[in-house]
Structure formats: C-alpha cells, structure tokens
Amino acid sequence: MSEPNGRQPRAVRAPMRVSEGGASVGALLTRMRGSAFQGRKLGEAFEAWKQMIDGSALICLGLAGSLSSAGMWPLVSWLIERGYVDLVASTCANVTEDVLEARGATVHQVDPEHVDDAELWRARQYRFYDHVVSATDYDAMETFTADFFRHLASSWKHASISGARFMLEYGRWLERQGLSGCIAAVCARHGVPLFVPAAHDGPLAEGYRESGVRGPAVDFFRDYAIALALMERSMAPGRGTVAIFLGGGVPKDFIQITATSVCALRGGAASPHRAAIQITTDNTVYGGLGGASVASECISWGKEAADGVNVMCFTDVTIALPLLCQGLAEHYDATHRRHAGRVVGLEEFLKD
C-alpha cells in the first residue's frame, strides 16, 4: 500500500506460521518483525540490536527490575563478554544478587497465587514474586559483601572514591573470590564502566553496615562527571552512542540525562543517542519515567534522535531477553567478539 506525500510504501503485515524443520530463534524473531503488536516490536528490537553490534557506537545498557534473582544475570554477563554492551548502569540488586547462585545458593519456584507469605517468613524464605531463596543464604551474601568494604577500607588510600571506581574494585574483588561470572566481575575484566547510581538501595547497604567501616566515602556526583566525559567523547559527531533499556527507572535516566547534559555542554547543540531499545511493562500514560517512550517522548528532550531506530517493546524482560540473546548467538558465530565500542583508557576516566 502506498503512503501519501511520496513516502515509502508500507511494509506488509505477514501472518505468523509454524516453520517446520527446526527453524532457529533468530529466524523466528525475523519473521515476528513482520507480524503485529509486541511480537512485531520484539522482532524490530532484534534487528536494531544487530545494527548496533555491527556499528561502532558505544552501546549503553540500563539494567533495572529484579532480573538477577530471576536468573537473567548470565545473559547480561554473556552480552558484556561478547562486547555487545560497552557501558552498564544498573540497580544495586542486579549486580549483587547474582552472587547468590554464584556462591552456591539455590533459588526455588513457588506458586505466587497460592503461597503463604507468613509461612515463608516462619520458614526463613525470602520471596521474589514466584521464586524464593533461603534467608540464611541471602543474609550470608550480604555478610559476604561486608568483607569487600573492609578490603576497600584497608587498600584505598583516598578519603573518597567514585561510584564507578567502587564498582570496578568490587568486580576485581569478586574475581579474586572465584566469582568471575558475576556481572561486576565481567565488567571489571573487560574494562566496561559499571554505574550503580543507588548502590545503597540493595544488599550492599547491609554489607556496609555489617562491615563496621565508614570509609572511603562514595562520591556519586563524580559518577555523573565520569559518565558525562565518556558520553561526550563518544556522542556525535563522533561514532555516537546507542542505548538498550531493560526496564526503566534510575538506570535508564542515568544514561538518558547525559544526552541533555552533553547538549548543554555544547551550547545547545543536540547530541542524542542515535538509536535506542526499551523493553518494559511500564505504561507511558501514567507519566512514569521508566515508561517514557524512546520513540516519542524522549525525543522531545533530545535524548533520542528523531531519525534514529528507536524501538519500544512492551513485554516482560524475562521473555524478551532470552529470545534476543539466543537470536544474537545464532546470528553471530561462537567466536564472534565486538571490540568497536569498547571504552579505551577507562582507568584515566576513573583516576582520582
């Protein structure tokens, strides 16, 4: 069907059919791009992520929600290992609760509609909607992080430390504890800056309390300056930046605010992210920041390029992320590693 005003003809919506003969997840996602509703958007997100990987832009990942407790953390670590993510902004829970299973804890499923939470409390089980973990294991994980605070207090020679450097040291410490697959450890090993703007809003706060130490002070405003310098160096007219948001909230806004800040630094010359994907269940009509569409509302702030590939997919991350990662694994062979977007000279940005 032709579009008015000389625009490109509309793509044809194709019916979804079963593909016999062992079709791949990647092929399914490609077919879904021609379907409708959020299936179509998931297919578009797959195509957009491949374009990001094939390009040279800095790929920023916003990581919200309770994804690590849900078992999504190995997928995030895999993305970082492959170079499909170059900068991470996360909630505290997602970069500490991955330590649970890495240290041998077992997470069990429950029926969220019929579980007795009072009985769980008596049985010392903490619930994350449809899965539970032993309170003993969870509390031990928090106590485990207390050892990191003691280590940092004895090894760091300055009165303060940026949040990004704090997370780098945390990742290196996890590596030395044999937990090399955790998100923070993988970021540290590959020089991927990890920002946790609300690090005290999670298990690290209890580790801090238990440690008994009160230094060094974590300077989160310095994180803003570090992120701004990294973004300003990468944003157009350079190779550019792109963003992927798993959920919304503070991690999303931390990545987004840099675009408007770079614009201010450049005297009003907009330097938005060239492309963006958001996977969320937030509804934009309630005015929630996490739901602010990267394909519309965010453009008004100069956070996303109006002519960029901006995809909003309204679905559960625990559905979308495994499919997207499996599709990427099939599209690129097992030896594929992306290096084009890696931050060069991260230590210089984090230097006190």
Task: Name the active-site residue from 157, 252, 303, 351.
Answer: 303
Question: CA–CA distance from 106 to each of 103, 119, 122, 202 (Å)?
Answer: 9, 19, 19, 20
Residue 303 known to be catalytic: yes
Cα distance from N-terminal residue to C-terminal residue, the chain: 59
What gap in Å lies between CA 97 and CA 88, rounded to an integer? Answer: 16
What backbone torsions phi and psi does residue 89 show, to the nearest 5 degrees? Answer: -120, 125
What gap in Å lies between CA 112 and CA 94, rounded to an integer? Answer: 21
What amino acid positions are annotated as catalytic residues? 303
